[in-house]
Amino acid sequence: MSAEERKEEENKILGPDVIEAETTEAKVSEVGKNVPNVEVAWSNADGGSKSSIAPSLDGVSDTEGISIAEKIAIEKDPPEKKFNFPKIFIRKDELIEIEVQIVFDPWSGDIYSITQPGLLNTDILETLKAVSFYYSFRPVSYDDMQKYRRQASIYDANAGELIVNRLQLRNLFLINHLRETNMVDEYGDAVIIKIDPESDNLSLESLTQMFNTTPALLDVVMTLFERKLLLLFNVSQ
């Protein structure tokens, strides 16, 4: 399949192409509260009013992740290897693993909860059952992030703002970075992630398969992935 044919097929699944933003005359205003699932970013370093897709952050913290990490560290034995300094530099061969826990009815298969492990005490379950799946992603570098922000950016003429569409950004993360999972279907058959050899991205078959899962699953997985990246939206609100 050619690159043009693949793009056409992706558009059938993801929707129309995102329009590349024009930034020369964009007017900057406050974060738009009427535009859902978007990240608004700007820069006034030169004293002007040109929009920018580079967010200005004083700091980011995954407070929920910190709380869960502290709880798990107390309950489990410490790992053999301990890092004295944070892992700042990206290693392309080191996958980021996201784990989710699903609580379901073993008689009907109905799902009652999809969360990050550690949020629910599943030891008290008597009728329902809990199972965990992991999803492994290639790491995202700063260069990747800049490229994705450009690809997912649009200029909203009505709001007068340059915005980054959060849903489109998540699609780019999913297509470009998902590599492995141990997820199975209701019959216990393994879900195999296939990579397109030409683009080195998620194949259309696997992308379609992932998009056919229950909606909350990918929402939780991608939210946890964003937290791993410390990519937190609407941080100024």
The residues facing 133 across adjacent strands are: 100
Predicted confidence band at 122 (pLDDT cuts at 50, 70, 90)?
confident
Residue 148 has pLDDT above 80, yes or no: yes
Lowest mean pLDDT among 2-6, 102-106, 119-123: 2-6
For residue 149, which of 133, 165, 129 has the smallest C-alpha distance?
165
Tell me the CA distances in angstroms from 5 to 8, 11, 204, 223, one per residue in order: 5, 10, 11, 30
Q: What is the mean pLDDT of residues 121-126?
A: 88
Q: Which residues of 40-50 are buried (b: 16+ CB within 10 A; e: fewer)?
A: bbbeeeeeeeb
pLDDT for position 77: 62
Q: Give me the pLDDT at residue 84, please.
A: 81
85-107 per-position pLDDT tens digit:
888 888 888 999 999 999 999 99
Contact 237, 34 (CB under 8 A): no
Q: Is 59 exposed, middle or buried (0-12, 13-18, 19+ CB in 10 A)?
A: exposed
d(CA 2, CA 5): 5
List Cβ neighbours of 12 (8 Å cut-off, separation of 6 or more). Answer: none
**Which residues are paired to 129 by β-bridges?**
104
- Measured CA to CA, the distance from residue 122 to residue 102 in angstroms comes to 10
More confidently predicted of 158 and 189: 189
For the residues 61-72, what does the mean pLDDT come to?
Answer: 72
Q: In what order do the strands lie in the sheet with 161-165?
A: 38-40, 161-165, 153-156
Query: What percentage of residues in the chain have a pLDDT greater than 70?
Result: 68
pLDDT at 31: 35
| The two three-digit tokens of residue 116, written as one number | 């990050």
pLDDT given at position 25? 37
Q: How far apart are CA 53 and CA 40, in angstroms?
A: 8
Amino acid letter for position 67: S
Measured in degrees and rounded to the nearest 5, phi and psi for residue 34 equal: -100, 0
The Cα 153–Cα 147 span in angstroms is 10
Of 31 and 156, the structure prediction assigns the larger pLDDT to 156
User: pLDDT-derived band of residue 181, with 50, 70 and 90 as boundaries?
Assistant: very high
The per-type count for the chain, helices as H runs and strands as E runs, is 6, 7
